[in-house]
Structure 1
Amino acid sequence: MSRIPTRTVEDAPDASRPLLQKIAQASPTGRPLNAHAQMAHSTAVLAAYASLRAVTAEHGTFDPKVSWALNLATAATVGNGYMIGIASRFAGMSGWTEAQIAALRTGATTGDAKIDALTNVVREAAANSGNVADVTWKAAQQGGWSDEQLVEAFAYLGLTMFTGYFLNYAQTDRDI
């Protein structure tokens, strides 16, 4: 059961309303998802989420297939079913097969060694307070990921951890 009631655009704090309205317009349901409706209680939390999301969308260089692989690998490590469900859905929409989605959830091989090397970095960082073993980092570099891409992966790690931790914190009820 959820700890925090959901807000609507109409009953959200004044400062949260424009952010919540913008998020609702991009939502698959046309309304704020429970996660966003709970975040709206604090404009600081909703703005932080919206900012992370906007920055990855505007400045990210990964194609959706890579970004959703990173999100799913991180979500699975954080251990929030709501976030795993969302990331799994979008991973499928971006071209991952059901078997590959299962592999991204569990840390098994997807059949794409380059992706596996990068998701191993974010998975390890998520599980170890940002720490990644040199061997894992070097495997990603040897797999073809540049320093710029390894740094960018951190943005997706941060967005997914922020969201997943909030969902765990608020005990958000699934709505999609």
Structure 2
Amino acid sequence: MNEVIPMSRIPTHTVEDAPSASRPLLQKIVEATPMGRPANLHAQMAHSPAVLTAYTSLRAVLAEHTTFDPRVGAALTLAAAGGVGNGYMIRIASRLAQMNGWNEEQVTALTTGTPTNDTKIDVLTGLVRQAAASSGNVTDATWKAAQEGGWSDGQLADAFAYLGATLFTAYFLNYAQTDLDI
């Protein structure tokens, strides 16, 4: 039996051929990427200005309003990606985690839910990973472990923003069947 390889469902765009409302956002993404072109993820999101605007808005809000430093934010994103299980999203989040000081062993641990040797991070990322894998549901024991691990209710609420941004991205990747290009 021949394996059927899914094809991307949504067209990819360059800045020049994207819908006009997406062009400024896509241009900013290109300027911030070392590839000098949009990743397939962004090139497909650009097909809908609403999707690209929602994505860039989520990222901007996290950058401006989070209570977490970038290293913790990267760990939360990677844990959520691991919970969702989308390979493209895991790859993006792994790169982000490495850029924010997580080593290869820790990246694997954050993805799979094994200990990173930082108990405080482990309970928080465990909560986010469980929520990602369970439609937002977490057990009382997982929630209590995060609280007892030193995370405030405000931080636990803030962690949801990383979960939401990661789910938005991963679900789009699944929905569009985006070809891996990173």
Structures share fold, TM-score greater than 0.5: yes
Question: Which residue of the partner structure matches residue 147 of structure 2?
Answer: 141
Shifted more, 49-58 versus 78-87: the winner is 78-87
From 132, 135, 144, the equivalent of 1:129 is 135
2:181 aligned partner, one-letter code = D
Question: Which residue of the partner structure matches residue 4 of structure 2?
Answer: none
Count of aligned positions: 176
1:100 and 2:103 equivalent? no
1:32 and 2:59 equivalent? no
TM-score (norm 1): 0.96
Runs of at least 4 residues of structure 1 off by over 6 A? none
TM-score (norm 2): 0.93
1:68 and 2:94 equivalent? no
1:17 and 2:23 equivalent? yes
From 162, 170, 174, the equivalent of 1:168 is 174
2:60 aligned partner, one-letter code = A
Shifted more, 60-69 versus 151-160: the winner is 60-69
Deviation at 1:123, TM superposition (A): 0.8
Indicate the percent of aligned positions where both proteins have the same amino acid: 73
Note if contact 2:83-2:131 (Cα within 8 Å) is conserved in structure 1. Answer: no
1:88 and 2:64 equivalent? no
**Unaligned 5+ runs, structure 2:** 1-6
Question: Which residue of the partner structure matches residue 56 of structure 2?
Answer: 50
CA distance in 2, matches of 1:82, 1:129: 20
CA RMSD in angstroms comes to 1.0
**Unaligned 5+ runs, structure 1:** none
Deviation at 1:116, TM superposition (A): 0.5
